[in-house]
A and B are shown apart, each in its own frame.
Chain A
C-alpha cells in the first residue's frame, strides 16, 4: 500500500546513538522526547505518562507473570476444560482431547486452527519470553534482531489463545437441552484463561528496548552524546 522509507539515523560514526545515550527519554505512550533527568521521577510533558529511559523492574515483573503462567499451564492442559453430558454418556475433554475430537469429526482445518491457538501459541509464548528474559539477563551482544522479531511475534499471536475460552462459552450457552445434551465448563478452563491473561501481561511488561542494550554497550565505548544532530 504505502511505500517504505527508512528514517535517517544520525551518522556520527560512533555506533548506534540511542535516546538514552543521548541523555533523552522517549515517552512510551506518545513517543515525545524529553531530556532525561536522572534520579528524579519524571512525567511526559505532553501526555503525562511516567517517563523513563527504560521501564524499571520490567524484567522482574515479566519473569513473575511468566512463572505464574508456567505453573498454571500444567492444570490448564491436564484438567478437563469441558464436560459434555448426553442421553448416553458423560465425557470430559481436555484442551488436547478437544482438538482430537475436532480431528475425528473430520474438520481438520478447524482442528489445526484450534491446535495452533490453544496448544502452540501458549507454549510458544512461555518459551519465547523465557528465552528473551534469559538473553537480556546474560547481556548477549549479538542476535538482537531475531529476538526483537520473536517479541513482535509474541505480541501478534498472543491474543489468539483466547479462542478456546470463547468456543467453550458459546457451547455452554447453546447446548442446554437438559436430559438430552448439556455442556458444562470444568475448572481447567479457569487455569487456561489465566495462562492467556498472564502471558499477555508478561509480554506487555517486557521493555523491547532492553533487547538492544547489550548490542549498544558492545558497539560503543565513548560517550558522544554531544553530537546529536540539530
Chain B
C-alpha cells in the first residue's frame, strides 16, 4: 500500500465522525467499527477478486434481460399490452414529460449500466495484474453513482403497479421482473464485496505483486 507519511497507514479516521483510530489486526471475517459513532471502518481482508468478477458477469446478463424483456403484461377487455423499462420511458416522453422520462431513464437504464461498466473497468485490469491510471477517478464515480441505482425501488414499483392493475384486469409478470429480482441479489453481493476499501486493498496488492 502507498505510504505517504510514517505512521499514517497505521491510523484511520471514521468516515462519519472523523475520530482517529489505530488500526488493529482483525480476525478473519471481523469488521472494525467506530468507537464513538459505530460507523463501519474496515474489514480484515478483501474477498478474493474472482468472486466479484463472476458476479459482474452474472449482473451484466441479468441487466440485459431486465431491460430487454417485458416487465409486465396487461390483458384488458380483449386487448393486451406489455411494457419494457424503455417502453415506460418512451411512454413518458410521448406524454410530453421529458424531464420525468430522463429521470426514469437515468436511474433505471443509464446508471445501472454505468455502474457495471465502472466495475468492469476497475476489476478486469486488476484481475490481469494492472492498476489502470483512471483507477482513482473510476472508484470515486462508482461510489458517487451507487445511491442512484434504484433497481430494488423499481422492483417494488412494478409490484405496486401489478396490484393496482390486478384489481381491474389480468396482469402477467414478465421475465424482466424475475431477472430484476435476481439482479438485486447480485448487485447487493457486488456492493458488499466491492467496497471502497476492497478496491484499494486489491490495487495495493496488485502494485506489490501479490495478486
Which residues of chain B are within 8 angstroms of A101 by Cβ–Cβ distance? 164
How far is the CB of B90 from the nearest CB of chain A, in Å? 8
CB-based contact B37/A174 at 8 Å = no
CB-based contact B18/A209 at 8 Å = yes
Cβ-defined partner of A7 (8 Å) among B12, B77, B81, B197: B12
- Known A-B contacts A175-B74, A230-B10; the reply to A9 vs B88 at CB < 8 A is no
- Say yes or no: is A141 at the interface (Cβ < 8 Å to chain B): no
CB-based contact B88/A169 at 8 Å = yes
Binary CB contact string for chain B from 29 to 65 against chain A (1 if under 8 A, 0 otherwise): 1111111110101110000000000000000000000
- Known A-B contacts A148-B16, A172-B91; the reply to A159 vs B147 at CB < 8 A is yes
Which residues of chain B are within 8 angstroms of A172 by Cβ–Cβ distance? 88, 91-92, 95
- Say yes or no: is A45 at the interface (Cβ < 8 Å to chain B): yes
Binary CB contact string for chain B from 162 to 195 against chain A (1 if under 8 A, 0 otherwise): 0111011000000000000000000000000000
- Known A-B contacts A110-B160, A193-B100; the reply to A180 vs B76 at CB < 8 A is yes
Cβ-defined partner of B79 (8 Å) among A180, A184, A197: A180
CB-based contact A167/B157 at 8 Å = yes
- Say yes or no: is A114 at the interface (Cβ < 8 Å to chain B): yes
Cβ-defined partner of A5 (8 Å) among B27, B83, B135: B27
CB-based contact A18/B100 at 8 Å = no
**Complex Cα spacing A117 to B82, Å:** 26
CB-based contact A45/B103 at 8 Å = no
CB-based contact B19/A173 at 8 Å = no
How far is the CB of B22 from the nearest CB of chain A, in Å? 5
Binary CB contact string for chain B from 142 to 172 against chain A (1 if under 8 A, 0 otherwise): 0100011010011011111101110110000
Binary CB contact string for chain A from 158 to 173 against chain B (1 if under 8 A, 0 otherwise): 1110111111011111
Q: How many residues of B contact A (CB 8 A)?
A: 83
Which residues of chain A are within 8 angstroms of B87 by Cβ–Cβ distance? 173
CB-based contact A190/B74 at 8 Å = no
- Say yes or no: is B132 at the interface (Cβ < 8 Å to chain A): no
Cβ-defined partner of A170 (8 Å) among B8, B39, B139, B161: B161
CB-based contact B18/A212 at 8 Å = yes
- Known A-B contacts A170-B72, A185-B97, A190-B100; the reply to A5 vs B18 at CB < 8 A is no
**Complex Cα spacing A145 to B91, Å:** 46
Which residues of chain A are within 8 angstroms of B168 by Cβ–Cβ distance? 181
Which of A46, A102, A117, A164: most chain B Cβ within 10 A? Answer: A46
- Say yes or no: is A40 at the interface (Cβ < 8 Å to chain B): no
Minimum CB distance partner of B15 in chain A = A31
**Complex Cα spacing A185 to B94, Å:** 11
Which of B6, B21, B90: most chain A Cβ within 10 A? Answer: B21
CB-based contact B12/A31 at 8 Å = yes
CB-based contact B160/A176 at 8 Å = no
Which residues of chain A are within 8 angstroms of B2 by Cβ–Cβ distance? 32, 45-46
- Interface-lining segment among A19-27, A62-70, A72-80, A130-138: A19-27
Cβ-defined partner of B157 (8 Å) among A9, A166, A184, A197: A166
A-B contact pairs, 26 of them (CB 8 A): A5-B30, A6-B32, A6-B34, A7-B35, A17-B19, A17-B20, A18-B13, A24-B13, A26-B12, A30-B200, A101-B164, A106-B167, A145-B37, A160-B156, A166-B157, A167-B157, A169-B104, A170-B157, A172-B88, A177-B79, A189-B100, A190-B97, A193-B103, A229-B10, A230-B7, A230-B10
Chain B interface residues toward A at CB < 8 A: 2, 4-8, 10-13, 15-24, 26-27, 29-37, 39, 41-43, 71-72, 74, 76-77, 79, 81-83, 87-92, 95, 97, 99-100, 103-104, 107-108, 135-137, 139-140, 143, 147-148, 150, 153-154, 156-161, 163-165, 167-168, 196-197, 200
Given contacts A30-B196, A166-B158, could you give 10 more A-B pairs where the C-beta distance is less than 8 Å? A28-B15, A33-B8, A34-B4, A35-B4, A107-B163, A162-B153, A174-B74, A190-B99, A190-B100, A193-B99
